[in-house]
């Protein structure tokens, strides 16, 4: 089997799959008609995929999984076989959230391809050509990402927040805040990318801090990027105030890990009228509180509260599983120290 292009009376080009059994040419399937070069290339590409499926040869253009999907959606028509999966599922979710209000077809393609096949930009270009018949180059994508950041970012964030609020019943009463570092394989710093404490252990690489605020169930509310040399404890209040202003967010209960637990943060949260739940470390508490915690009898899974001061309570619990894990880690640490000590003596 092979492809044939045939010029029609209307001036369009039809792409057909032809076989030659016993020397006679036979049209197996007409893929479709097109006028522009891009339309014709797309039809040729779909034709090659169809030949592979029909011939049941080792797949050059499709995988075994693709063939199974093709069989399931065969009744939908040849032209839509390659695009129906991601577009059918993720496309409906995309529209339901409200991103179709953006009015940018490339944004739609990038979002759906990122969900279906989260790959590099170059691989995304391959995916779009393979499954959508869309021919792009990386410069087009980079230019669009600049446009997205400059002109469309605020609209995307507002649509996302509106959907999150709807999912959470129009009541965002609890938010979770956390930070991570993203490092770059580069040696030079700039106004944003700076060296600092890296959670990836890449302390010599320039990095940025990414702060993320989510609601119950992990639904995204907002994010902010900070300089790589920023102390994460200094980001909490500015971030909350910025997000509250942007989305008219009332005072929710703030949940964060121990990296954000500081006297200044607690004081600022209280002054700003926020209720909060922050991770705590026993070693950072006063001797009196430490003794109180260690003297409190707890069984596996049991939770108790200790009053720290007029405004703060410490909630403690005990887990047999975690206690065994910590004991194991301490034992390993001691053995490593003993080995180092022996080598130094030798």
For Cα atoms 145, 149, 151, give the angle at the middle one, nearest 5 degrees: 110
Q: What pTM value is reported for the model?
A: 0.63
All structural domains of the chain with their residue ranges: 2-77, 84-158, 168-279
Would you say 230 and 180 are in contact if contact means Cβ atoms under 8 Å apart? no
d(CA 120, CA 126): 10
Pairing type for strands 13-19 and 26-34 reads antiparallel
User: Among 11-20, 77-86, 158-167, 311-320, which stretch is predicted with the lowest mean pLDDT?
Assistant: 77-86
d(CA 4, CA 11): 16
**How far, in Å, CA of 90 to CA of 264, rounded?**
44
Q: Is the pLDDT of residue 59 over 60?
A: no
Q: Give the range among 35-39, 153-157, 210-214 with minimum mean pLDDT.
A: 35-39
For the chain, list the strands marked E by DSSP.
2-7, 13-19, 26-34, 174-183, 207-214, 220-227, 253-256, 276-278, 303-307, 313-317
pLDDT in tens, 307-325: 888 878 899 999 999 999 9
Residue 150: pLDDT band (50, 70, 90) is very high
Which DSSP category does 288 fall into? H
- pLDDT tens, residue by residue, 244-287: 889 988 888 999 887 777 778 888 888 888 888 888 888 888 88
**In this predicted model, what pLDDT tens digit does every residue of 172-205 receive, in sequence order?**
889 999 989 999 988 788 888 999 888 888 888 8
Distance in angstroms (rounded) separating the CA atoms of residues 190 and 282 = 38
Ramachandran bin of 345, using left for φ above 0, alpha for ψ from -120 to 50, beta for the remaining angles: alpha
CA atoms within 13 A on the CB side of 315: 7
Q: How confident is the model at residue 55 (pLDDT cuts 50, 70, 90)?
A: low
Does CATH number 3.90.350.10 belong to domain 168-279?
yes
């Amino acid at each position: 089997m092979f492809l044939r292009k045939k010029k029609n009376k209307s001036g369009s080009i039809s792409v057909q799959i032809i076989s030659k059994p016993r020397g006679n040419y036979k049209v197996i399937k007409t893929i479709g008609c097109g006028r522009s070069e891009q339309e014709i290339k797309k039809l040729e590409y779909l034709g090659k995929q169809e030949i592979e499926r029909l011939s049941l040869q080792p797949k050059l253009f499709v995988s075994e999984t693709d063939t199974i999907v093709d069989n399931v959606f065969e009744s939908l028509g040849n032209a839509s076989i390659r695009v129906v999966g991601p577009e059918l599922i993720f496309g409906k979710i995309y529209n339901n959230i409200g991103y179709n209000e953006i009015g940018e077809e490339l944004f739609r393609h990038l979002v759906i391809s990122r969900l279906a096949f989260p790959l590099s930009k170059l691989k995304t270009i391959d995916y779009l050509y393979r499954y959508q018949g869309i021919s792009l180059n990386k410069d087009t994508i980079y230019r669009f990402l600049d446009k997205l950041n400059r002109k469309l970012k605020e609209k995307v964030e507002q649509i996302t927040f509106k959907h999150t609020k709807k999912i959470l019943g129009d009541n965002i009463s609890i938010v979770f805040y956390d930070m991570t570092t993203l490092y770059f394989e580069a040696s030079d710093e700039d106004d944003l990318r700076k060296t600092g404490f890296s959670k990836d252990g890449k302390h010599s690489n320039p990095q940025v801090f990414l702060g993320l605020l989510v609601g119950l169930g992990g639904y995204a509310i907002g994010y902010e990027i900070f300089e790589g040399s920023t102390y994460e404890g200094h980001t909490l209040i500015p971030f909350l105030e910025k997000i509250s202003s942007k989305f008219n967010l009332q005072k929710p209960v703030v949940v964060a890990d121990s990296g954000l637990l500081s006297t200044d943060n607690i004081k600022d949260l209280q002054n700003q009228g926020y209720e909060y739940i922050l991770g705590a470390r026993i070693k950072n508490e006063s001797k009196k509180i430490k003794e109180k915690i260690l003297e409190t009898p707890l069984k596996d899974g049991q939770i108790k509260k200790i009053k720290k001061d007029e405004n703060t309570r410490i909630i403690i619990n005990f887990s047999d599983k975690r206690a065994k894990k910590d004991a194991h880690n301490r034992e390993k640490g001691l053995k490593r120290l003993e080995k180092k000590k022996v080598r130094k003596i030798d």
